[in-house]
Amino acid sequence: MREHVSKLGALLVKLGKSLMLPIAILPIAGLLLRLGQGDMLNIAFMAEAGNAVFNNLPVIFALGVAIGFAKESHGAAALSAYVGYVVMTSGMKVLNPDLGMGVFGGIIIGVSAGGLYNKYKDISLPSYLAFFGGRRFVPIITGFAAVFYALIFNYVWPPAQDLITRFGNWVISSGEAGLFSWGFANRLLLPLGLHHILNTLVYFQFGDYSVVEAGATVVKHGDLWRFFAGDPSAGSFMAGFFPVMMFGLPAAALAMVSEAYKQNRKAAAGILLSAALTSFLTGITEPIEFAFMFLAFPLYLLHAALSGVSMVIMSLLNVKVGYMFSAGLFDYILSYNIGHNAWLVIPVGLAYGVLYFFVFKFAIRLWNLKTPGRENDAKTPVVGPDDALAYAKIEGISSGRAAAYLRGLGGAGNIKTLEACATRLRAEINDNGSIDEAALKAAGARAVVSNIKGSAQVIIGPEADLICDEIKKIMPAGGQRAQ
């Protein structure tokens, strides 16, 4: 039973990682859609170009998830996902024209195509069919699977869709209670990356809003999609994050710097202040959150609760603001004109910044929490990113941060797969016990999550993707353990 739970956890983590690729497309889509509007640049074709991405979100999710699940992130999996998606949706339209699985359909096909690629990419067929072997077989088997899905979902999806709709309507209609639960759960799921799964429901499935486009009625689903389509009731599930991400967490970073031991303060500031600026501008909060999530978990519970409270406050003030990527300054500026009471983000955010600063200072002192700069005794300085090279030399491995990260992950022989999320490395590994957390932190990691068997996450920051590529370049062929 425990093994099955572990496998399910690993699968959900992988799904969360895979969702990041299609989600990463949203900022450019939102930028085009927003700038093309009449109150901005008033360029119709630009707005329509952005809108086209939203209208094709299901197939985009199918392609992105398939790439995330496929070994080597091979394009054959994406092609297979596209084939599977058009086969499934076309078949369902014939069986029941009223059915529409939306983003869920894309995710299901994406997971299937990626899994089928991993299973059949090396398949050998009889000589007279050899041309269709290997990777060419994957789109074929995915197409057949999609026909089966169309038949099954013709019966299964209507009650499932009704259940999702009812649940979504309950969350939306439950007012402040639902908003608090959403904000609280969103932050609690962050450590494993599972918040992306919850986000997909809230942003792209819950709620309906009909608009007329090119003479046809189109239904938009989800808080994010509806907000940018002009639904005046949308935006509640995003507005509450702006005070937290633009003001609260940067203030928390300042509080942690101020509470660091004097001899460690410079190193702590180097890590936390850059993360604070990133959070304020872009809404990428993980570098700050992982800095105290495991070192001071009671503080993280307070942060999750304050996120839920922010949702409630913004709802009571009837603030509607949205974002394409996250609740940072850039998205705030772009959505300001189409939001409602968006100006209140600033005063509420400033108050939230003060609240976070003093709550964090008080909690750190009260419970003597080991936030950055307080982990070691007064004679031991905090190891910062600049020490990675020295650490690598001491350990006798080749120079450079990639080598230090590779050593910390247990060497190439311990890594099955390695991919990057927005701010973290995600690895499938052979032995969790080979993970050297001290080595990873010496290389510049903010935190390490390795409590799921066969899986490890290393939280770095926005440069995670670059570091991932660097590691892959120095990994020896055959997966030999780094020395």
180-196 pLDDT per residue, tens: 999 998 898 887 667 87
Of the candidate ranges 147-151, 201-205, 309-313, 457-461, the one whose mean pLDDT is the lowest:
457-461
For residue 29, is pLDDT > 90?
Answer: no
Q: Last residue of a domain, which of 201, 228, 246?
A: 201
For residue 446, is pLDDT > 50?
Answer: yes
* pLDDT score recorded for residue 153: 93
For residue 41, is pLDDT > 90?
Answer: no
**Looking at 83, 257, 364, 421, which residue is catalytic?**
421
CATH code at position 440? 3.30.1360.60
Cβ contacts of 173 within 8 Å, gap of 6 or more: none
Residue 449: strand pairing partners: 457
- Residue type for position 247: F
94 and 32, same structural domain? yes
Active site residue 468: no
* pLDDT score recorded for residue 246: 96
For the ranges 89-98, 111-120, 392-401, the maximum mean pLDDT occurs at: 111-120
Kindly state the average pLDDT of the residues 7-21.
Answer: 75
- Alpha-carbon Rg for the chain, nearest whole angstrom, is 24
Is residue 59 in a domain? yes
Q: Name the residue among 302, 441, 291, 444 with its Cα closest to residue 374.
A: 291
Cβ contacts of 479 within 8 Å, gap of 6 or more: 412, 413, 415
- Cα separation, 290 vs 449, in Å, equals 9
* pLDDT score recorded for residue 118: 94
125 and 56, same structural domain? yes
Q: What percent of the chain has pLDDT over 90?
A: 37
- Residue type for position 422: A
The total number of structural domains in the chain stands at 3
* Tokens (6 digits) for 221: 């689903």
* pLDDT score recorded for residue 476: 67
DSSP label at 100?
-
Residue 426's domain comprises 385-474
176 and 67, same structural domain? yes
Question: pTM for this structure?
Answer: 0.74
166 and 27, same structural domain? yes
